[in-house]
Structure 1
Amino acid sequence: MQVAAEMFAILSDPTRLQIILALRDDELSVNHLADIVDKSPASVSQHLARLRLSKMVAARQDGTRVFYRLANEHARRLAIDAIFQAEHSVEARPAHHHDSHLSRSRMSTS
């Protein structure tokens, strides 16, 4: 239970959630991720280090560039489910229940 709770603590940061969602379909470099999440590459690197230690994200080096990907589908599913649950907290009829672009089938495909 302690390790499971630590996974939620790692996912409690909005930037890390954005990184996980950005990696749901493809592997990306730090600079590309920094552009997506609108943070500095140094900041993104620190978040990626934490995600790598938790084994949610894996890295592949290609020359001088490092590309990151999700280590498995579980982090993606946790992030998506957290967003869906958050929508229930703030909306009477959450977007994922009626918007096709947020449907579970599209958000959870890899």
Structure 2
Amino acid sequence: MAKNNALSACTPETCDIRVVHLDRVARAKAEAIAQNDMQRLALTYKIMGDPTRLKIIMALRGGEMCVCDIAAFLGLSESAVSHQLRRLRESSLVRSRRDGQILYYSLDDDHVLDLVTVGLHHIEEP
């Protein structure tokens, strides 16, 4: 581990010396996921990153709701809510169930709830 001869400002995000730990790089490469899966995961977080869609997901934690219910909760038009629900459904974050003329939405599975729960625990840490 030789020191870098060039002087540079030390910041909390950088090392004082330049060294590559090949075993750690190899481990990270071995644990890396496929590019397609990486894209899908990034899209999931991007979809959930929109405040309106996240509010919908949070509302659905308590059980299924129809578009009218969600629109009333959010104070938005049913059209705006339908647009957001379409994005959530396309990303497999919510699913729908028809009961007569009413279409109910719910979280697609427990994994969606897990994503929200872990995120909440993270932000609640001191």
TM-score by length of 2: 0.64
Task: Measure how far apart 1:76 and its partner are.
Answer: 1.9
Residues in 2 aligned to 1:31 and 1:8: alpha-carbon distance in whole angstroms: 26
Residues in 2 aligned to 1:38 and 1:86: alpha-carbon distance in whole angstroms: 26
* Code of the aligned partner of 2:68: N
Residues in 1 aligned to 2:45 and 2:62: alpha-carbon distance in whole angstroms: 22
How many residues align? The count is 89
Residues in 2 aligned to 1:80 and 1:35: alpha-carbon distance in whole angstroms: 24
Structure 2 residue ranges without an equivalent (≥5):
1-37
* Code of the aligned partner of 2:84: H
1:62 to 95, 99, 123: 99
Partner of 2:69: 32
Task: Measure how far apart 1:77 and its partner are.
Answer: 2.1
Task: Measure how far apart 1:86 and its partner are.
Answer: 4.0
> Segments of 4+ in structure 1 off by > 2 A?
79-88
Task: Measure how far apart 1:84 and its partner are.
Answer: 4.0
Contact 1:58 1:68 in 2 (8 A): yes
Task: Measure how far apart 1:74 and its partner are.
Answer: 1.5
Contact 1:7 1:54 in 2 (8 A): yes
* Code of the aligned partner of 2:42: A
Which of the pair has the greater relative contact order for Cα pairs under 8 Å at 6+ separation? 1
Task: Measure how far apart 1:2 and its partner are.
Answer: 1.2
Residues in 2 aligned to 1:5 and 1:23: alpha-carbon distance in whole angstroms: 22
Bigger CA radius of gyration: 2
* Cα shift readout 1:33-82 (whole Å, capped 9, x = no counterpart): 11112221111101100011011111011121100011101122222333
* Code of the aligned partner of 2:111: H
